[in-house]
Chains A and B, each alone.
Chain A
Amino acid sequence: MLMAVKNQIKVVLLSIKYSLMRQMVNKFTFISNIVFMIINNASMIIQWIIIYSIKDTIGSYTLKSVLLLWGFASSTYGVAHFFFKNAFDLSDFINTGRLDTILVQPKNTLLSTITTDVRVSAIGDLIYGYILLFIYGVTPINFIVFTILSILGGLIITSVAIINGSLAFWFGRSDSIANTVESIIVLTSTYPEDIFNSFVKLLLYTIIPVGLVGYIPVHIMENITLVPILVIFAFTILFIIAANLVFYAGLKKYSSSSLMNARI
């Protein structure tokens, strides 16, 4: 069992390494993708600087809190899209029969599917998240907590993407649902929760788990204690279990496809 886990991790790391090598073939594209993503993210923060020059706080959020919220939004997105890019293209994998070559391998189908590609621009998101942490004020402890919460948040976003993408097993194309949910996550995770009414807040802490990947982590960083971190960890496990259950239930309905495809 332990050996199987070790071998699975080895394959995942090799997949990520080779995917990264593929993206590095064109040096200019590789670097520009990262740099322009940082610039793109940085341009979004200008509106908040202007707003906070007029008003000191929005609800309980100061400018620093919003910067941190942006930091989490960016780093969790970076973790999810860099390491698990294909989770966000799962519907396409299912509809075009690209699971075939993975299913014949003696490895975890879901993990192998989502880790066979990386999104280079997500490195920019990840770096930007840490830049904002440095602006917020970095300490060794909050650096570690920020990293842990970013990984957990990335896993939650990935799990949500897997659940939505897996709907393709039952309903054909589900990419529009997956894209819409992802857009809502990205959009709402960059605004302070206090601007939303109670109903929206309820959604953001349940179906669209922005509360777990952004709001609660910001509060944890402002007052670091172990319990809320463990709560987020427990929720992450629950999301991963749910994603696995939905994916493997759907896999029984997989109908493949005769479309030609290649690992390019």
Chain B
Amino acid sequence: MAIITVKNLSKTYKVKEKEKGLLGSFRSLIKPKYKTKKAVNNISFEIEKGEILAFIGPNGAGKSTTIKMLTSILTPDKGSIDILGLNPSEDRKKLAYEIGSMFGQKEQLWTHLTPYDNFKFFGAIYDIPEKAVENKIQEFKDIFEIEGFINTPVRNLSLGQRIICEILVTLLHNPKVLFLDEPTIGLDPVVKEEIRALIKRMNKEYKTTIFLTSHDVGDIEKLCKRVIIINDGKIVLDDSMENLKYHYLNKKIVEVKMKEKVNLDDEDGITILKDKGYNLKIEVDLTKKTISDAIKLLNTDNIVDINISNTPLEEIISEIYKKAE
């Protein structure tokens, strides 16, 4: 059963247009011109309980506007949203008890307080009894290993530790759905891995449905089983991660070190990406040529070293973005 149902959702912004320079500013002051921008244009989707969904798209695609409508921050112009039987625009307070939201670019923790005090404060916001908050904090300590910094003021924590606490604070009231808007923005690879592990654990331990927006392909690849790609306010792809890879991974990258040079210039289905004499990097289009045929062309006796890899997901996604444009 769907836990989130979105039907024909739209949101339009009125944006002021200004001409260049001081004169333009004067003109704009006397006779302002506006243009309307459809940030979200008639989108529909459903999310099942326990799913981890990646909601991705380039900057300005409508990701944040969508997540803000789902979390009661913005009021939609058209369409309907149903989250656990509640309408975010009309049932803001009721919904807030059922969902958690974390915006990577907007901190909600009090920086001069320790994570412990912050947990207590947010416990009060969600009307959780003191004893239950203490139990939850103990649970966080046991599962998410925050013992070492729970009594350090947030402003003295590393960025990674801070983000971990930002996410944990959204879990205090056991939300059924968690909205994470770019949770790994600005983090180093090690901390990103820690955050991903945390998200996976949350999903596993608490069966939390997770709605994730991110520009980081690693987040999407390692966490999500389903991807929705939005561009220019419209959904351009809604598919499982498996299908996405299957349909778009029809190209292989072959990096090879050879004893003698080989000429592949006119071979159909092979694109030379890099040619440094004895070191060659080619892309093989699997719809036209098999990997085995490509290797035969290189001559197996001639190969010193070989590496065959898939096209990075990042390239696949940017290709989908480009196609949508």
Contacts and interface: CB of A to CB of B under 8 A. Distances in A.
Interface string A64-97: 0000000000000000000000000000000001
B26 interface: no
A106 B96 CA distance: 5
Contacts of B113: 18, 21
Nearest to A251: B75
B126 A258 contact: no
B110 A101 contact: no
Contacts of A54: none
Contacts of A111: none
Contacts of B151: none
B55 interface: no
A254 B110 contact: no
B89 to A, nearest CB: 9
Contacts of B75: 252, 254
Interface string A4-27: 000100110011001001100100
B124 A14 contact: yes
B125 A106 contact: yes
Contacts of A22: 110, 112
Contact of A256 (B74, B97, B109): B74
Contact of A106 (B74, B111, B121, B126): B126
A22, A98, A262 — which one has the most chain B CB atoms within 10 A of its CB? A262
A7 B92 contact: no
Contact of A261 (B74, B106, B117): B106
A7 B123 CA distance: 11
A21 B112 contact: yes
A25 B112 contact: yes
A18 B72 contact: no
A255 B73 CA distance: 8
A262 B126 contact: no
Nearest to A3: B127
Chain B: interface residue count, which band?
Answer: 20 to 34
A264 interface: yes
A46 interface: no
Contacts of B127: 3, 7, 106
A18 B111 CA distance: 10
A103 B92 contact: yes
A55 interface: no
Interface string A27-55: 00000000000000000000000000000
Nearest to B96: A106
Contacts of A256: 64, 68, 73-74
B74 A255 contact: yes
A107 B93 contact: yes
B275 interface: no
Contacts of A103: 71-73, 92
Query: Closest 8 CB pairs between A and B?
Result: A106-B96, A262-B107, A101-B108, A104-B101, A260-B105, A106-B93, A22-B112, A103-B73
Interface of A: 3, 7, 10-11, 14-15, 18, 21-22, 25, 97-101, 103-107, 252, 254-256, 258-264
Given A99-B73, A256-B73, 8 more contacts: A15-B121, A22-B110, A98-B106, A103-B71, A254-B75, A258-B64, A262-B107, A263-B109
18 contacts: A18-B110, A18-B112, A18-B113, A22-B110, A100-B68, A100-B73, A100-B103, A101-B107, A103-B73, A104-B71, A106-B96, A106-B125, A255-B13, A256-B73, A261-B106, A262-B107, A263-B107, A263-B110
